[in-house]
Amino acid sequence: MEPKIFQQIENGKKVDFGDILSKSFNLFGKVWVDGLVHAVITLLVMIPFLILIYAPIAPLYIDMFQHMGDTYYEPDIEQYFSIPFLIGWMFVVFILAFLIQPVVFSITGHFLIKCKNEDMGTNDVAGGYFKLAKEHFGKLLLLSLATAGISMLAVLLCYFPIFYVMVPLHLMLPIFVFNPTLSSGKIINASFKLGNKYWLIVFGLMIVSGLIASLGTLICVIGVLATTYFQHIVTYYFYKDSVGFENA
């Protein structure tokens, strides 16, 4: 039997671009502190990951920094690293990137649940920031691999398809968060079905919310961290207005 979410998508009503943005601004005023906390936690999780990536190749960057401004300088990579080392380093980076993604998904998913609780007055058990990763790490890892694979295929097809797939890929997380019992395959199918139906409006919401989220750069680092999660509020409202919740 087909999961109910496919029927919800099929029967989804028309969504209003301006209404979603308006409600997102209202909710942002209530949850911006939560968004800031989630952004800081994400940053703290990423710092060790970035150290592990860049520490092995730090000597090359130091040498390049010391020769900054020298137009005749050409870094001799073989002076610092052997070919087997570079291959091993790229492999480790590849593995670490996929291992960290489920954790980032978990933090973002936790924020989406917080948005629902604040907006609808519900008391869904959000758990800790890493609860989703603990309970569904394998599923989140498969979704990460699928996202990377679909994106790479789109790039190989001369880049233009990436504009198409970026919408359903963006919708995978909310579909998973609010339907955690779905299999990875069903989540992917549902995200493409939902993305196909509302592609233009979701694409527009992604562009506009991304621009609004980047406004935090005007007030430096804290501003960026405070506004970066605005786009997830917009995603939450799109999901609510298009798919909805059974217990609403």
Q: Which of 68-72, 147-151, 179-183 has the lowest mean pLDDT?
A: 68-72
Residue 165 pLDDT greater than 80, yes or no: yes
Query: How many other β-carbons are positioned within 10 Å of the β-carbon of residue 54?
Result: 12
Token pair belonging to 221: 């680092």
What's the mean pLDDT in 58-66?
75
CA distance 37 to 139: 25
Taking alpha carbons only, the member of 204, 101, 83 closest to residue 147 is 101
Nearest to 6 by CA among 180, 194, 172: 194
The predicted structure's pLDDT at residue 218? 64
d(CA 184, CA 111): 21
pTM of the model: 0.88
Report the pLDDT averaged over residues 108-134: 88
Top pLDDT among 49 and 218 is at 49
Residue 182's pLDDT is 94
Mean pLDDT (the chain) is 87
User: For the chain, how long is the longest CA-to-CA vector?
Assistant: 67
Give the dihedral sign, CA 211/212/218/222: negative
Rounded CA separation 198/168 (Å): 10
244 C-beta neighbours (distance < 10 Å), count: 16
The secondary structure of residue 70, as a DSSP letter, is -
The CA–CA distances, whole Å, from 18 to 179, 198, 242 equal: 26, 15, 14
Q: How confident is the model at residue 221 (pLDDT cuts 50, 70, 90)?
A: low
Q: Answer yes or no: is pLDDT of 61 > 90.
A: no
